[in-house]
């Protein structure tokens, strides 16, 4: 099908990839195909996106968010449940997944919310949903949130876990005792909020921690059996960017000091996953203090450029954006370019470096905190053997119940 410099088994090799029925049939030096310029990497998996829709369709829809994902080299997204309305029941879950079936440009799945209202019934809700769909995790579980029903107490978390077996919980770890209101929020949401919440959660169970932004929290998780993700903004931006971003600066957890961000980037290899935490608010929303940055389209291109510049290693990038998300969340057939897996890969011409411009992106929110950053966007993105950049209509799928034989060891 195609030939080029393929990232295969931890290194680049000159090879061709043969595809049959949407899966990789053969990889080898003797396999013929169309020559492509650049490198062929596994298509990314973004395990943390907020695609809005429902009552917030003016900010983003499942359709526009997954379109942005495909242009960023992402083949699968995991949507978060803190929508309006919240995805906290089988009824709302089914409604959102049915909507996604006709709207997704890449493959799609959805986490279920754990709230103060449903924690006693969460196991039963999961059982009903899993008769039809794959639920990768219960998350994003908020230790701190402005919505009282979404802000989980530690004791509630402990009680919920007693009813859940072989289920991955993803945690937004910020302790309310260290969080105050104010702008810019990095002056009011202390880093101790994250560190203390992580420390407390680790005494309860093992979790997957979302968007870790501090060295202390990262080191504590690394000394446990839990996993964690980092975001581009916590590695590449800092409180120094307040002058540039102005009213758009708020994100939860907030941006940290330059020293903190530089440490996280230098120790990128310690993280388990790179995820965008794509949170598309309009600039009008940002003027009112809404926290969050869009990023599903820019994440992979920025980090491919960093790898080409040898600031990070390609092996670490592929691990964090593809193979580890597939392994940790149980996405069989995704994550690596290997025989039997889905033919999901992206072609990046490392010489085609360009500046990020909001006007070139596809998210409905219509802005980016990475304006002017250098990036290498993919020339081709294959989803189950089809170059989706050449297809205008949605061609992705929602993940169904066939994934349910996956068992999490947590």
Q: Which amino acids are annotated catalytic?
A: 277
Two structure tokens written together for 90? 């089988």
Burial of 172 (0-12, 13-18, 19+ CB in 10 A): buried
Two structure tokens written together for 80? 């978060």
Cβ neighbours, 10 Å, residue 407? 10
Two structure tokens written together for 225? 């059996």
Closest listed residue to residue 335, CA positions, set 100, 7, 67, 92: 7
The neighbouring-strand residues paired with 354 are 375
Question: Which residues are within 8 A (CB) of 393 and not within 5 positions of it... i.e. 6 or more apart?
Answer: none
The HSE-up count of residue 227 (CA atoms within 13 Å, CB side) is 20
């Amino acid at each position: 099908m195609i030939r080029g410099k393929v990232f295969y088994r931890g290194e680049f090799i000159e090879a061709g990839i043969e595809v049959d029925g949407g899966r990789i049939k053969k990889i080898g030096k003797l396999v013929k195909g169309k020559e492509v310029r650049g490198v062929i990497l596994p298509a990314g998996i973004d395990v943390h996106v907020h695609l809005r829709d429902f009552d917030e369709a003016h900010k983003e829809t499942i359709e526009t968010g997954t379109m942005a994902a495909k242009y960023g080299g992402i083949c699968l997204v995991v949507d978060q449940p803190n929508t309006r309305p919240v995805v906290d029941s089988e009824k709302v879950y089914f409604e959102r997944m049915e909507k996604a079936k006709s709207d997704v440009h890449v493959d799609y799945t959805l986490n279920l919310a754990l709230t103060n209202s449903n924690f006693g019934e969460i196991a039963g809700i999961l059982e009903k949903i899993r008769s039809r769909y794959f639920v990768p995790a219960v998350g994003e579980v908020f230790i701190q949130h402005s919505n009282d029903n979404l802000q989980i107490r530690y004791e509630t978390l402990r009680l919920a876990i007693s009813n859940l077996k072989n289920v991955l919980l993803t945690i937004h770890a910020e302790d309310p005792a260290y969080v105050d209101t104010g702008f810019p929020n990095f002056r009011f949401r202390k880093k101790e909020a994250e560190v203390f919440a992580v420390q407390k959660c680790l005494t309860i169970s093992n979790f997957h921690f979302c968007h870790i932004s501090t060295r202390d929290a990262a080191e504590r998780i690394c000394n446990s059996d839990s996993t964690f993700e980092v975001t581009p903004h916590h590695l590449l931006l800092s409180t120094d960017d307040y002058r540039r971003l102005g009213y758009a600066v708020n994100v939860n957890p907030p941006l940290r000091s330059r020293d903190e961000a530089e440490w996280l980037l230098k120790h990128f290899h310690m993280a388990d996953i790179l995820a965008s935490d794509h949170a598309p608010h309009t600039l009008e929303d940002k003027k009112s203090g809404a926290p969050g940055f869009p990023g599903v389209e820019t994440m992979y291109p920025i980090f491919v450029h960093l790898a080409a510049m040898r600031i990070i290693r390609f092996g670490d990038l592929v691990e964090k954006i593809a193979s580890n998300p597939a392994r940790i969340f149980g996405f069989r057939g995704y994550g690596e370019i290997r025989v039997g897996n889905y033919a999901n890969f992206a072609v990046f011409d490392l010489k085609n470096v360009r500046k990020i411009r909001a006007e070139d992106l596809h998210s409905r929110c219509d802005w980016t905190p990475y304006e002017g950053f250098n990036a290498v966007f993919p020339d081709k993105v294959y989803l189950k053997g089809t170059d989706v950049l050449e297809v205008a209509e949605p061609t992705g799928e929602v993940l169904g119940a066939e994934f349910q034989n996956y068992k999490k060891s947590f």
